[in-house]
Chains A and B, each alone.
Chain A
Amino acid sequence: MSTLDTVPALRARRIRVSPSGTAGLAVVAFWLLVAVAGPAIAPFPPGHISDAGVLAPISRAFPMGTDYLGRDVLSRIVWGARYTVGVALLATAIASFTGTALGLCAAARGGWFDSVLSRILDAFISMPSKMFALVIVSAFGSAIPVLVVTLAVIYVPGCYRLSRSMAININAMDFIAVARARGERTFYIMRHEILPNMVLPVLTDFGLRFVFVVLLLSGLSFLGVGIQPPNADWGSLVRENIEGLREGAPAVIMPALMIASLTIGVNLLIDNLPQRRGATAEGH
């Protein structure tokens, strides 16, 4: 859309980020940074067992205490950020992108293409997600790329359902008929006419789905097919230290707080993305 480039001053004026959106952005950016710079800033290697005892409280040397084997929790959280932020965000992004793309195609093409795709993905939803992940991981090993793809595949059908139903509603509108009568190709209609009207709901869905992926990932780690020890994602950290909960050990509370901060941060950011003044076809 070339006019967008010709009037930059006018477009910029519209972008207005709310304070809570900025807070969300800061949190997400912080964790991304930690994930990238993890090895450089962690006080200890992930498997290093300290001499402070197990499930130790917060101290100067161990700002987040130690875990059930006496390892530094802060270090484990910093190392774990790679898995939680990296694996979960990447998997959610892939699931959301693929699901939305397929949903758009199905809505724009319609006919047998839509029917076949929808039935296949419906069949997929009927498979228990953990079982599916177990099968894939036992077949291909639990390397990080396999985990990412497995988690993404599990959440594609949900994203597909959502975006397809929205795209079908938008596809029935007159401005699509106008574009079609103008001679536009299906891809242009999908990309420029339909997609901009469903971005907000798709992003909201992204935020929710991200939380599910984090939970599933920690579930898989617990079953021994997720992140392999001595590394651990945040979910696994909570689980492996769960016996410390009775004593209120920071080893179990801290990783849980980190998960909360990340999911809240992601959702704050998404809910407060700069919106156009104009409403979308979905009535936002």
Chain B
Amino acid sequence: MADVVRVERLRVVARDERGGETPIVKDIGFAVARGEVVALIGESGSGKTTIALAIMGYARPGCRISGGRIRVGDTDVLSLPPSALASFRGRRVTYVPQSAAAAFNPSRRLLAQVVEGARIHGLMPRVEAERKAVELFRALALPDPETIGRRFPHQVSGGQLQRLIAAMALLSDPELVILDEPTTALDVTTQIEVLRAFKKVVRERGTTAIYVSHDLAVVAQMADRIVVLRNGEIQEQGMTGQVLDSPAHEYTHSLLRAADPERRARRADGRDASPEAPLLQVSGLTAGYGGIGRDGLPAVPVLRDVGFTIRRGSVLGVIGESGCGKSTLARVIAGLLPAALGVVSLNGASLTANVAGRTRDQLRRIQIVFQMADTALNPAQTVGAILARPLAFYHGMNGEAQRRRIAELLAMVRLPPRLADRYPSELSGGQKQRVNLARALAAEPDLILCDEVTSSLDTVVGAAVLELLDELRRELGVAYLFISHDVSTVRAICDQVLILYAGRIVEFGDRRSILRPPMHPYSDLLVSSVPELRLGWLDGIGQAHLAEAAHGAIGADDAELCSFRNRCAMRLEGICEAEPPPTRILGKGTRILCHRTEQELAWAQLGDPARAANRETVP
């Protein structure tokens, strides 16, 4: 087959502060054959997006394509004049960005935006473009393909937006589509349907594509060939199966290791949940936004009747999709969002709902670390000043003692002491998250609320932060409430896990027993939605499961009924809509909220769905 794209000795440089030029892509060469999907994989800073953009003849501000050749079809991209580049992009090469939400204009209807590119390039009349767009909507399994285009971007979900932008990219039948981390910002359950839709369309249309990602498991489903990048250099390239099964390069090995939850979990084994006294007890917690009504419930409930216990020095994981209330839980415990009902008690003493009523010692014992390391550090303060404040505030520590302690804290999170003098903007993402952690440790807390602390980090950097958390737990005896949407991360480091759906705990139990069958239908959906690091995983997903995934998450409602009922493939008609689900203790030791019996769940999840489907009513 003829190559559609051929990149030779591509070199991109970035200008630094002193006016010098640093190469960020170093003499890269690869080719993409017609109908082939090639993945560029690597951590942030590996140059993968820079290469993808260079293929469109574009370099970000401050960067410059300084050498090499890029051929797409018969065109030498780098020698095109600007006017020719404009008609080249969007017609022959199209681009799907990571955040579709940021790529759509919020004040225009979707269909008008999807056909805009084709209109600008004068490829086809409006009516034909719209007809073709609807066709693509159908191919991408969007709901209501005829009418979805009349909506505005805020009226569709994130997964749907991502598919709409793919439709935009495919509309002009381009020779090449570049997909830049198209599912990274999505929940696992949403990711599945988007990946399925992408794969189907790519296969049916024989699209040639470059798929940029940091996620090996996703790439394993999508790509024919993988190019592994690091620091702007190619480490290894080969067929997907071969790279996954017998990676040639050490760096690929380390990527595979970091992506493999089982390997990480093995490290956590061999320790038992400590038998110590409860540190934090939460019961009957109900919280949300808006005014409190006469029934004592907030106008927009986010958490409903949540209760659990964290023991000293242990790790409780909280898993759920975005919008399930997991971040709200951390805010309620920290006192940032006062709960409407329920009690939070620390060491047996109940805490006031609002942070203002808590004693300084109680405040010190609970610290919070946020997901976005960028916005959690004050850009106007040096790292030293950021760490100094909790030392002075909680411990009255000043002067020389304070300076020594700052150095100690930095050492604890594996940062060199000279960073004390830097501003947050001068640090990398991983370093910022370590400073966040150090600030929490400065208080000498009993409990750290970790809200998605590794989600914005690369796999390898994230794995290092997790390792650090685990070490600190062992050395300092600090407990964590570990919030994540990533099932494998939670499985790897938590002692106990609770699964939150639409503000309710649907399953709660020990690490070793939770997330394996029999389990709550939602737990099952979560577990089976995590991309596995093997070929063909995506194609092997069952239909019932896909329907659940495609439904999309819902918010909390007032009803006492099961919050998962509208989406559940194992729903019992006439029961789930009528009665609140009972609490069941499963044989493996976890507590679930479900009408289904343990036996039925086991049948469904261990490969005998027919027997599970048999029951129509409660016996």
Contact = CB atoms under 8 A, between A and B. Distances in A.
Given A174-B376, A177-B336, A197-B380, A3 B385 contact: yes
Contacts of A181: 334-336, 355, 363, 366-368
B375 interface: yes
A182 B420 CA distance: 21
A180 B388 CA distance: 16
Interface stretch (B37-45, B121-129, B300-308, B389-397): B389-397
Interface in B365-385: 366-368, 370, 372, 375-382, 384-385
Interface string A154-198: 000000000000000000011101111111100000001100110
Contacts of A139: none
A175 B378 contact: yes
B384 A7 contact: yes
Interface centre among A178, A180, A196 (most CB of B within 10 A): A178
B357 to A, nearest CB: 10
A126 interface: no
Interface string B412-440: 00000000111111100000000000010
A245 to B, nearest CB: 47
A182 B393 contact: yes
Contacts of B403: 3, 6-7
Interface residues of B, number: 45
A123 interface: no
B360 A183 contact: yes
Contact of A1 (B385, B400, B422): B385
Contacts of B366: 181
Contact of A10 (B336, B360, B421, B424): B421
B506 interface: no
B536 to A, nearest CB: 40
B358 A177 contact: no
A138 B120 CA distance: 63
A175 B423 CA distance: 14
Nearest to B337: A177
A174 B331 CA distance: 11
Contact of A178 (B376, B387, B406, B424): B376
A280 B355 contact: no
Contacts of B379: 197, 278-281
A115 interface: no
B155 interface: no
A178 B439 contact: yes
B402 interface: yes
A279 B425 contact: yes
Nearest to B376: A174
A182 B392 CA distance: 12
B381 A196 contact: yes
Contacts of B378: 175, 193, 196-197, 281
B613 to A, nearest CB: 46
A196 B393 CA distance: 19
B288 to A, nearest CB: 18
A119 interface: no
B398 interface: yes
A182 B358 CA distance: 10
Interface centre among A3, A181, A192, A197 (most CB of B within 10 A): A3
8 contacts: A1-B388, A7-B421, A174-B370, A180-B336, A182-B443, A193-B378, A280-B380, A281-B378
Interface of A: 1-4, 6-7, 10, 173-175, 177-184, 192-193, 196-197, 276-281
For the complex of A and B, list the 5 residue pairs with the smallest distance between their C-beta atoms, beginning with the closest.
Answer: A278-B423, A196-B380, A174-B376, A183-B363, A3-B384
Given A1-B389, A174-B376, 9 more contacts: A3-B420, A174-B375, A175-B376, A178-B376, A182-B394, A192-B389, A196-B381, A197-B379, A278-B379
